[in-house]
Amino acid sequence: MSIPQEFADFWSAALRVTQRLEAGRFYEAFALGDSAEMAGYLAGLVLEGTKRATASLAWTYQSNGKPRPKPGDLSILMSWSRRPLCILETTAVDVVAFMEVPAEFALLEGEGDKTLSTWRRNHEVFFARECARIGRSPSPSMPIVCEHFSVVYQVPGAAP
């Protein structure tokens, strides 16, 4: 995938600082969550170093005809208003059933009290909305993409 023109200057600035970004590894520019409030909260966790993983519904990739992320992919995390905040490198990707997501992953997601029970409760609601959007029914066995990442570049002083 190619870097969207609106982010070309941001990518160039990051390249000058890191010297390790290859355009061929670009995956996507995205905001976390499905609302401005959620995107701000989650981006804040990434920027402070608390959030080092994210979960998505595998069915969404199928519905959108888009490949899932893979280790080595680089993505631009942006605010809900499309302001670039940082560049993430995908370090690991696992696909597991919703009810098989491990407690360690909930901790890496860094949300709320970081427990698996809270993760399940919050993500059950989130994935139910996503399932409704793509015409699927949520279930305990729905496939979840568990993506681990590291921040490879952050805008100095960035805030969601």
Superfamily of domain 5-151: Sulfate adenylyltransferase (3.10.400.10)
What Å distances lie between residue 50 and 4, 43, 47, 110, 112, CA to CA?
28, 10, 8, 5, 11
Per-residue pLDDT band for 3 (boundaries 50, 70, 90) equals: confident
User: pLDDT digits over 96-142, tens only?
Assistant: 999 999 999 999 999 999 999 999 999 999 999 999 999 999 999 99
**Residue whose tokens read 């890191």:** 18
Question: What is the C-alpha separation between 95 and 53, in angstroms, rounded?
Answer: 13
Round the average pLDDT of the chain to a whole number and report it: 94
Whole-model pTM: value is 0.92
Section 18-35 average pLDDT: 88
User: pLDDT digits over 99-108, tens only?
Assistant: 999 999 999 9
Question: What is the C-alpha separation between 144 and 79, in angstroms, rounded?
Answer: 23
Could you please report the per-residue DSSP string of 98-140? GGG--HHHHHHHT-TT--HHHHHHHHHHHHHHHHHHHT----T
User: pLDDT digits over 74-94, tens only?
Assistant: 999 999 999 999 999 999 999
